Structure 1
């Protein structure tokens, strides 16, 4: 009993220390890893509360509308700190507090009072991933959705309707939790409950948005993505980046979507084709997993690699390659470690490596990357290749899922 308590205390001490260190590193690392929070989120919040335009309501927005909820909540939380830290500093501190609090809630659900060995392993992995990925793991909207997905994933067996509702809420903040919901629907056994819960949440959100006057901008987050170019960190941009040092390709900043994009012959064609590629890859993975589910694959064996495969596919086939996308990979691996630890070791190691490489690219090597220097291009290329490897690992695990296996998830 004493040893178990000591292990639990150690996990919580490391969790708090990692969050504090990562939050502080955002203030000292180069390339403004907290830039989106103060340069984008805070102005959106200020405009909304001061009678200005409300993103997603009065104008088209790149994110689903529920993303505005944490942005506005942090604005309210920052008020007590404004006198001491100023508007920007207060907003940053409040953002770090909110994300840490949400992570702590999910961490508590993961560990409970007497966590099993797989859950302790998952907890250590979570802290390691955050530390290695760096400030980008906290100072983005993606950080808000991570704990939501972790809690929902842990509740899929015992509370499937509530889990589906949480995943739907997450998808209305950032789209990627919808991929985890799809995995749950394919691999789970209580699909009707989950579908009803997802429909109820979606109906409530849409009804609320319509009452607020968001008629013209209701699904703007989908159409807004269509005109985006090929972001330099995207997997598909890798070949074009190697043309930058020689001068046959360039890097340009898009003021419309606030990202650096590749400027090269053929880049626009590739960017336009990626949406179709994404749909095809995701559909193929779902069809494969559906076949495995029909053959009786156990939830604990099928769901984790399926969730990871779908999330990895969204990253690999995306025209946008933002560093915070790596946050998406953390939740499926946490769940895989909980449900099927023996087979989760390899993907966990790969994701940790991806976190390190991503931090080396952004923020640590980003200035050199924008200058077209070879070393950061090499690091980014290795990172992108490893993303493809992770996708293959996930799909292979789905293919190798035993049919008619015992569903051990009910004992977890």
Structure 2
């Protein structure tokens, strides 16, 4: 609440953030050992090996696990900014700083008139629910860029476009934050910035887009929605395998290609629904870009062949941005995502052996987590549609009573 001297400093969320992030750091630095597989091996081994190749001026062309757009090289090379630390320690510190940047962005935005501190709390609580995996992947850095893009879009659509383009060249999905923008300036800025950055990488570093060829032969990752088919089928005679493939643990064997194709079809349907929504939407209140971005990323995450634990930090970040706006309708799906985060840390890393082994307990954890994501996706889609799509046959408002002007605020230029 704002007083005579302005909004008070948010001591409570900052204190909780500090305590929970200290615990996360102690886990990734192995002062304490988090149960389950070592989540830091990606940084200590995979990222470190990529770093050695990237610093020579080329991409890891012979490594099929490199499946990222060219700007991802900046995240992998970023520990060089802290030469006084070892690579892994520097990476964890930079992940912490990205986490702090999101907190600062949400806190600043939430203190403006008509905003809320709910978003800050979603971020403060949601990240530690995922466990130390958050700091052992570069997704928290990408999420910081996406959060900045959505918040910038309220007043600076061109800045939103540039940030979205840069985020997309880090890990593709931040391009989805543009789905709910009503004007063309953000899209034009994104196209120009994206083309410029991509051309620069293509000119300066060989193999900038080799990652596009490393996706074709992937199986179905053991934590995805489609994987539940094979987890159950293993108990009924299915003779496929679970192998480390293209950097993740996947099902390989009979009918995997069918399930993977269905997943791609569902992603196509998700894209079609988003296109239909854009054609039908007539109202774009201030919170619509955030709500639409959250819904879009939910759609594409849930239908993906891969739902790695770190993907959840994308959803936590966008859910937090939604709840910065008092008018956002995304409270319920945001809550579902937070609960799904808790079940995510249970299935990885705590009980990942049960997931890989398709035990009853492992299947149950996955079914609950993925079921929550499906429920959040459907709920968010329905709420977004109801909030933005008008129908000609809607009953007019009673005489003498007009709808609040704020509900019809357009973001179009």
In the alignment, what sits opposite 2:133?
Answer: 136
Alignment of 1:240 onto 2:230: yes
Give how far 1:409 is off. 8.1
- 1:56–1:276 CA distance, 2 compared to 1 (3 A): farther
When residues 284 and 364 of structure 1 are mapped into structure 2, their CA distance, relative to the original with a 3 A threshold, is: same
Quickly say closer, same or farther: Cα 1:399–1:381, change in 2 above 3 A. Answer: same
CA contact under 8 A between 2:242 and 2:356: conserved in structure 1? no
CA distance in 1, matches of 2:63, 2:253: 35
Instruction: Name the structure 1 match of 2:216.
Output: 226
Supply the distance in 2 between the matched residues of 1:153 and 1:53 (Cα, whole angstroms).
Answer: 32
User: Which structure's residues are more often helix, by fraction?
Assistant: 1
1:287 pairs, out of 276, 296, 303, with 276
SS in 1 for 2:136: coil
Contact 2:288–2:328 (CA under 8 A) maintained in structure 1: no
Runs of 4+ that moved beyond 4 A: 1-7, 56-60, 402-405, 407-410
CA distance in 2: counterparts of 1:359 and 1:59, whole angstroms: 27
Identify the residue that residue 94 of structure 1 maps to in structure 2. 90
Aligned partners of 1:305 and 1:397 also within 8 Å: no
1:39 to 34, 45, 48: 45
Q: Which of residues 192, 196, 221 is equivalent to 2:188?
A: 196
Query: Counterpart of 2:148?
Result: 151
Quick one: distance in 1 between partners of 2:70 and 2:201?
8
Query: Which residue, 199, 210, 216 being the options, matches 2:202?
Result: 210
Deviation at 1:330, TM superposition (A): 1.4
Report the Cα offset of residue 142 of structure 1.
1.1
Where structure 2 has 5 or more consecutive residues not aligned to the other structure, the ranges are 391-404
SS in 2 for 1:65: coil
CA distance in 1, matches of 2:64, 2:307: 25
Unaligned runs of 5+ in 1: 82-89
CA distance in 1, matches of 2:216, 2:64: 16
Q: Deviations over 1:72-123 (max 9, x none)?
A: 111442x312xxxxxxxx3222112112212222322222298258431110
Matching of residues 7-156 of structure 1 within 5 Å: 8-26=10-28, 27=30, 28-29=33-34, 30-49=36-55, 51=56, 54-55=59-60, 61-77=66-82, 79-81=83-85, 90-112=86-108, 115=111, 118-156=115-153
The residue number in structure 2 matching 1:383 is: 369
Give the secondary structure class of the aligned counterpart of 2:249: strand
- Contact 2:98–2:140 (8 Å) recurs in 1: no
Instruction: State which of 299, 302, 305 in structure 2 corresponds to 1:313.
Output: 299
Q: How far off its partner does 1:281 sit?
A: 1.7
CA distance in 1, matches of 2:110, 2:325: 16
Q: CA deviation at 1:366?
A: 0.6
> Contact 2:110–2:116 at 8 Å: present in 1 too?
no
Shift of 1:23: 2.5
Q: TM-score if structure 2 supplies the norm length?
A: 0.86
In the superposition, relative to structure 1, how do residues 201 and 226 fare at CA in structure 2: closer, same or farther (>3 Å)? same
1:370 alignment partner, one of 356, 379, 391 = 356
Q: How many residues align?
A: 389
Task: Answer with 304-313 or 372-381: which moved more.
Answer: 304-313
Distance across 1 between alignment mates of 2:326 and 2:8: 25
1:56–1:175 distance in 2 versus 1, CA, 3 Å: farther
Q: Aligned-pair distance for 1:342? A: 5.9
The CA deviation at 1:2 is: 9.3
The structural deviation recorded for 1:3 is 10
Give the structure-1-normalised TM-score: 0.86
Change (3 A) 1:47 1:402: closer
Q: Secondary structure at the match of 1:260?
A: strand
DSSP 3-state at the match of 2:374: helix
What per-residue deviation string (whole Å, max 9, x for no partner) do you get for residues 378-403 of structure 1?
Answer: 11111111111111011101221145
Contact between 2:116 and 2:326, CA under 8 Å: does it hold in 1?
A: no
